[in-house]
A and B are shown apart, each in its own frame.
Chain A
Amino acid sequence: MYGWHLKLLRVNLTTKKVTTEDVDPKIARDYLGGRGWAIHYLYNEMDPMTDPLAPENVMIFATGPLTATPAPTGNRYMVVTKSPLTGALAHSNSGGEFPTWMKRTGFDMFIFEGKSSEPVYLFVNEDQVEVRSAAHVWGKDTHETTDILLAETSAEARVACIGPAGEKLALMAGIINDKHRAAARSGVGAVMGSKNLKAVVVMGKKNPPLFNAAEMTALSVDTSRNVGADVKKGSNMRIYGTSYVPQVTNTLGIFPTRNFQQGTFESTDKIDGIALKEQYLIRHTACYRCPLACGRLTEVPDGEYKGKGEGPEYETISAFGGACGVSNLAALIKANYMCNELGMDTIGAGMTIAAAMEMYENGYIPEETIGMPLKFGDHDAMIEMVRKMAYREGFGDELAMGSYRLAEKYGHPEVAVTTRKQEFPGYDPRGSQGMGLLYATSNKGASHMEGDVAYEEVFGVPVKEDPHTTEGKPELVAHFQNSFALIDSAGLCVFVALRYVFSKDRMIWPERLSEMMNYTTGEGYTPEEVMKAAERIYNLERMFLLKAGSTEDTLPYRMLHEPLPDGPAKGMVNQLDKMLPEFYKVRGWDEKGVPTKEKLEELGLPS
């Protein structure tokens, strides 16, 4: 077999029994890999109504066929499970080195079931598979845990683990790999913590052969050359990473400011990539086999926020910077380091603190409850809240439940800017209409990573669309959702995939990606077949979501009823009602958003 191992590892944490299974080649082909394989197994093996933090929840780590191949950015894996934050689906993606090392164990996918009675970690070195005690690393942060587990296994291994936030079941806990990379969103770290699984350590030298190694290498080299040409021209992604984006979203008036009460932040210059580069950048870093190298090693050399690590990325600057009204760059870098070390999603953590700040300023949450003042812009208080949230200490216990539950508890649900109870990323959908439709219909709750139409509405990749119009957005959102399902299933990073793997005319893509899939797997996919597989994956996820009871596609009050007060999108709300019915039609779903029998049959899905 080419591209895939067609082997999965099933780990029952209750019994400590580990088994290996073959993957049906037809399932492999029809669901591509990664996110696609994972939803197939999750849907067929688990009742979608399962309590996400119960032993019955199934958690899957899945690599794609292009993971660990010469494909540029073929370094991703997905964590798929039922989310304790949203009550719907979680599919969180990460790069770095761990995913490639995981694939080299000889297994494409790990399925975790049950719950260990005591803290454990999984060690996989090809056929050597052991569930080992993690008592000595329980309570330690992700960096200490990684160092200790590498020291006792092998320097050749790679580690994905949870920090204190995951152990304490904080709903914004993520899974951190290679110290600085995160499968962050939807509380996947809390699911891992609920299973008493502290870490997964992988190594090996098994790689499935490529169907046509010569052509695959040539295509990968050509794609890398294209990336290199752009980087040479002065790509912002290489110079600044995603930290160049605050200037862009602020210019468009969609930079979330003070919990989305505004769309422009007066101190953007102080917290953007230029300031970061001038003050704190040490050098650029890259995930395995990435020609873009958008990562950045940074250091705050002294002062109260002293620290060293990677980032922050745009989303982190948006959440802890604009959304919290904080203009102290060192503080938001520190918040980023803390989230990586404590194992938390920076978007969920930052946006929840932003909502708490608004509730404090409006007198909805008294100072005695919080234990200190919590005004917008108070960076010391923000840092303290990050720590308390991870350890669920004092008011942090309430913050750890996310902004939706917090706002509801204090009687002001309108303050929570979430869909499916998950915090918004850094694009205000009042000035980016397609992003609103994306957030409302996303299988994982508000997320840019499920079909980031900001690529067109904001960045003009592959083509520029007007962010203020609703026209054409239903088709665009559905197309991007399917495309992201494809990229996530293949095992690539969207940063490179969208511009270099897909053609400029988005209606005939993705030819390059299907070629890469074919040189890798030998399956002879047509471009139409890979897109159909992506649509199949998206619809099966949707079925999981509906069966889990997450049926409402909507946006929070502020997005629909409070016009933006400033900037280029001043006066606008999101016009979801203009887009949603058409979106359902484009999708082949009924007027309630349920895939029709005909659509399910067309995709070969059970109706």
Chain B
Amino acid sequence: MMIHVKLLANYREHLPPEAKNGGVELDVPDGTTVREAISRFPIPLDDTSVIVVNGLTVDLNTPLKAGDVVSAFSAIAGG
């Protein structure tokens, strides 16, 4: 199934060359979880990482659905 992964701000550097507007389409097996999808990118996941699906807060072990948009960013403070 196809999903979309968007990496925001400093995470953009971990996107493959074919990425457009900070995001990339991915073909993943059914049942792929949020964590599995995001682990395809060399993001240094740590306590500053925030991952949302379709803009919503989710458990990282949640299986994705076709068309889901997974977004990830790193934050140590906001504005």
The residues of A with any CB-CB pair to B shorter than 8 Å are 230, 233-237, 239-240, 242-245, 247-248, 251-253, 269, 273-274, 292, 294, 313-315, 426, 452, 454-455, 458-461, 464-468, 494-496, 498-499, 504, 567-569
Which residue of the partner chain A has the closest CB to B47? A504
B79, A233: Cβ atoms under 8 Å? Answer: no
B44, A248: Cβ atoms under 8 Å? Answer: no
B residues 57-79 with Cβ under 8 Å of A? Answer: 57, 71, 73-79
Q: Of B52, B54, B55, B73, which is within 8 A of A236 by CB? A: B73
A461, B57: Cβ atoms under 8 Å? Answer: no
CA distance A248 to B57 in the complex (A): 13
Starting from the known contacts A233-B74, A234-B44, 20 additional A-B residue pairs (CB-CB under 8 Å) come to A230-B76, A233-B44, A233-B48, A235-B10, A235-B48, A240-B9, A242-B77, A243-B79, A244-B73, A248-B75, A251-B6, A314-B78, A314-B79, A455-B78, A459-B50, A461-B75, A465-B57, A466-B57, A468-B57, A499-B76
A233, B46: Cβ atoms under 8 Å? Answer: yes
Residues in chain A near residue B8, CB distance under 8 A = 244, 247-248, 251
Q: Of B6, B9, B10, B78, which is within 8 A of A461 by CB? A: B78
Task: Assess whether B12 is interfacial by the CB under 8 Å rule.
Answer: yes
B9, A567: Cβ atoms under 8 Å? Answer: no
Top 8 nearest A-B pairs (CB, nearest first) are A568-B55, A314-B79, A242-B79, A459-B75, A244-B9, A466-B57, A495-B77, A245-B79
Known: A235-B10, A251-B8, A459-B50. A496 touches B57 (CB 8 A): no
CA distance A461 to B12 in the complex (A): 21
Which residue of the partner chain A has the closest CB to B73? A248
Which residue of the partner chain A has the closest CB to B10? A234
Number of interface residues of B (CB under 8 A): 26
27 sample A-B contacts, Cβ–Cβ < 8 Å, listed by A number: A233-B44, A233-B74, A234-B10, A234-B44, A236-B9, A236-B10, A239-B9, A242-B77, A247-B73, A248-B50, A248-B75, A251-B55, A251-B71, A252-B52, A253-B55, A273-B9, A313-B79, A455-B78, A458-B75, A459-B75, A460-B50, A460-B75, A461-B76, A464-B57, A494-B77, A568-B52, A568-B55
Q: Of A243, A251, A273, which is within 8 A of B52 by CB? A: A251
B55, A496: Cβ atoms under 8 Å? Answer: no
B78, A274: Cβ atoms under 8 Å? Answer: no
B12, A274: Cβ atoms under 8 Å? Answer: yes
Residues in chain A near residue B75, CB distance under 8 A = 236, 248, 458-461
Which residue of the partner chain B has the closest CB to A466? B57
Q: Nearest Cβ in chain B — how far from A50, in angstroms?
A: 33
Residues in chain B near residue A468, CB distance under 8 A = 56-57
Which residue of the partner chain A has the closest CB to B58? A466
| A-contact 0/1 string along B5-17, CB 8 Å cutoff | 0101110100000
Residues in chain B near residue A242, CB distance under 8 A = 77-79
B residues 10-40 with Cβ under 8 Å of A? Answer: 10, 12, 21-22
B54, A568: Cβ atoms under 8 Å? Answer: yes
Q: Nearest Cβ in chain A — how far from B76, in angstroms?
A: 5
Q: Nearest Cβ in chain B — how far from A62, in angstroms?
A: 23
Q: Nearest Cβ in chain A — how far from B37, in angstroms?
A: 16
Q: Nearest Cβ in chain B — how far from A122, in angstroms?
A: 32
Q: Of B10, B48, B50, B77, which is within 8 A of A239 by CB? A: B10
CA distance A292 to B77 in the complex (A): 10
Q: Of B10, B21, B55, B77, which is within 8 A of A459 by CB? A: B77
CA distance A234 to B8 in the complex (A): 12
Q: Nearest Cβ in chain B — how far from A30, in angstroms?
A: 29
Residues in chain B near residue A426, CB distance under 8 A = 79
CA distance A357 to B56 in the complex (A): 31
Q: Nearest Cβ in chain A — how far from B5, in angstroms?
A: 12
